[in-house]
Structure 1
């Protein structure tokens, strides 16, 4: 079911209409097969880039769409309703463009940003490590100064698009403590950079998640983004936006599960009437709809604060928490609506439920979101 959206301009309405058209033609026909066979959807990201959907929140000066974040997030929600793995990868790509856009020099932007925003190259984000997930200050991957640049040694984990993306935001240790982290942009073909085999995940099978290994990798000074020691500031500024991206994708996933459940409940009959007409089941669907609408309103509120230049870090955490918890609850209820059939792979809700779980984990677990929110209340 297409969601009626309150969009700020006619251009924004046209962009969402374009997103729906592209998503229905490019994503919907392929999603089930690629998720089942765990194969990468070649050409999909190039198509999204050609349609201008990878660059919406960035400045037109560098090839971006110049759109408010609230429009970009609603585009992501539309993608998430069709194919969560692709939508997550688009969100991560935008996340990977943020350090370069916000902290890079004009020379760095000119060199890398137009191709990233145009979709001819793909960006990925590598902050987590095998022993450093939520605690980013515990990073151990090391960047040692040398003539002309840095030598990198260490490992990164949980990289969406790992081994496929063309460029990787790398956060590595250049000093001691939380102020000893620096940010780099690393080309995939850099000598000494290798990737592990794709993780065997519960869901999001079509886009690989891998580890990365740095073995005496040389990076010239021009690959460092921002000042030395500024890495965590850069990482956290990107994560606020990234959390909103995941909130939008989770909302799209929940909307898809609601649509599947409503369609099934209108067709399935028991005791002489449609199951949607049984009050017990109808109330379940009503709660699902309320959860989806609440999730959407929450991420849009945070996005509008971002667009207005207001503080939104706490609001981003609230949106990520509310939307991803809603996605888990709504997809679980959708399986329940289908009964035994919902537990089989014949129906899409089984996959949607598996995909919803990771939304509560990445871009900061929901326990971390609660920590961010509670600390903001204590200030």
Structure 2
């Protein structure tokens, strides 16, 4: 990767780079030919989602004893980044599935892990997580969907919206209310074919065409007691830890992949498009913009890889995860605008891809907290009032065995 070779070689191992080559080859040969179709139809691309899952990449952070790759969060970042470089929609599909993996890895019982993680790892199961509701949005404690205890299980009622992989998911991790207050939230594993669970109509959005992030509707949906994830009252921890430890780095990786594509396509355009008897890239004003794009991309990748490396080392890094999401989202949006300036009117047409990158990048802003939310959390870090260090709480589960804290992987 010519744009940031020094950064990648500092953080990654030959194993990481082999994985990158594998994913990039797949993305360019299997995903790229379908992008135009996804953009035109705007329909959920179930076939491609399944094909990607079958590569085993959803199990990248799953212990090998459950059939996973066991390669950790930097490897996960690379997978999502390389897919997003070609298709933000398919990068988003993987990131949403990985978010669904988190709840089982961190809170699943031995029986739940044995049942579901091998299926996730071999691509037979696409998991999701469902937290957001129409009225409460990102205010988790404001949710109103409920689970009522009955003799041999629970009955769920309510709606969840903006659920990543809503229309392709096989196993939904649903956080609902079982009581009042912050201790009254619980999480459940709900199979997609459960009676009483239905899907809202898929609605096309501004970008990420091919990806689904829709509505789950629960109407007296019964789930057995063994589908309770963790204990009653663990719902808030399931939601927050999944969002911070998986959601933020996953979305960081999607933004990074889109950002990489923005720079590559803009550099190519500037080299091949001619003005004043020479390439556009020779104009000083354009060179300034290309330099700005390159600098922002390198900074974004550094924050993304550094945060993922700290997760793999089991080092507390909530602040780095927050900062990486903020930096990558904001810089990808800023670079998309700069790329549009370089392309001028040419950037408005789908054949140049730049307008797609701009649309897709905007989808990464809100999930796992908007940029304003990230700044508020970083302010708490600066003031010493940031409370829960989720990366410290789950350090033993996050740490890669081959990587001792403070050391790079063995090469």
TM class by shorter-chain length?
over 0.9
Instruction: Note if contact 2:42-2:204 (Cα within 8 Å) is conserved in structure 1.
Output: no
Partner of 1:204: 208
CA contact (8 A) 2:46 2:168 kept: no
Displacement over 4 Å in runs of 4+: none
Matched, 1:98 2:102: yes
Task: Tell me, in whole angstroms, the C-alpha distance in 1 between the residues paired with 2:56 and 2:213.
Answer: 25
Q: Which residue of 1 aligns with 2:22?
A: 18
Q: Given the alignment of the two structures, is residue 87 of structure 1 paired with residue 82 of structure 2, yes or no?
A: no
Paired position in structure 2 for 1:152: 156
Q: TM-score, normalised by structure 2?
A: 0.89
* Cα distance, 1:20 vs structure 2: 1.1
1:317 equivalent in structure 2: 322
**Residue in structure 1 matched with residue 408 of structure 2 by the alignment:** none
- In terms of mean alpha carbon deviation, does 36-45 or 203-212 score higher? 36-45
What is the deviation of 1:9?
3.3
1:245 counterpart residue number = 250
Aligned counterpart in structure 1 of residue 170 of structure 2, from 152, 166, 169: 166
Q: Contact (CA 8 Å) 1:134, 1:368: kept in 2 or not?
A: no
Deviations 1:178-230 (A, max 9, x none): 11110111001111111111123110121122111111111111111011001
Offset from partner CA, 1:157-185 (integer Å, 9 cap, x none): 11122132111110000111111110111
Q: CA offset at residue 370 of structure 1?
A: 1.1
Aligned residue number for residue 145 of structure 2: 141
| Structure 1 counterpart of 2:383 | 378
- 2:299 equivalent in structure 1: 294
C-alpha deviation, 1:126, in angstroms: 0.7
Q: Distance in 1 between matches of 2:221 and 2:2?
A: 48
Q: From 326, 332, 336, give the equivalent of 1:331.
A: 336
Give the corresponding residue for 2:280: 275
1:145 aligns to what SS in structure 2?
Answer: strand
Once the two structures are TM-superposed, the CA of residue 332 in structure 1 deviates from its matched residue by 1.4
| CA gap 1:281/1:95 in 2 versus in 1, 3 angstroms | same
Residue 48 of structure 1 is matched in structure 2 by 52
1:341 aligns with 2:346: yes
Following TM superposition, by how much is the alpha carbon of 1:144 offset from its aligned partner in structure 2, in angstroms?
A: 0.9
Corresponding residue of 2:179: 175
Work out the CA distance in 1 between the residues paired with 2:29 and 2:309: 30
Superposition pairs for residues 21-40 of structure 1, below 5 Å?
A: 21-40=25-44
C-alpha displacement at 1:77, in angstroms? 0.7
Contact 2:92 2:211 in 1 (8 A): no
Gaps of 5+ in 2: 385-411
Q: More deviation in 243-252 or 304-313?
A: 304-313
SS in 2 for 1:72: helix
Distance 2:172 2:46 in 1: 19
Note the C-alpha offset of 1:2: 6.0
Shift of 1:292: 0.9
- The separation in 1 between residues aligned to 2:46 and 2:299, in whole angstroms, is 35
- Counterpart CA distance in 2 for 1:322 and 1:239 is 17
**Contact persistence 1:129–1:139 (CA under 8 A):** yes
2 CA distance for matches of 1:277 and 1:10? 36
The CA deviation at 1:350 is 0.8
SS state of the match for residue 189, structure 2?
A: strand
Equivalent residue pairs, number: 379
Distance, in Å, in 1 between the alignment partners of 2:27 and 2:130 is 27
Aligned: 1:62 with 2:70 = no
Aligned: 1:118 with 2:128: no
Q: Which residue of 1 aligns with 2:233?
A: 229
Give distance in 2, aligned partners of 1:185 and 1:345. Answer: 40
Cα distance in 1 between the residues matched to 2:212 and 2:75? 27
User: How far apart, CA to CA, are the structure 2 residues paired with 1:115 and 1:153?
Assistant: 27
User: How large is the Cα RMSD of the aligned pairs?
Assistant: 1.4
Alignment counterpart, residue 198 of structure 2, candidates 190, 194, 197: 194
TM-score (norm 1): 0.97
- Unmatched segments (≥5 aa) in structure 1: none
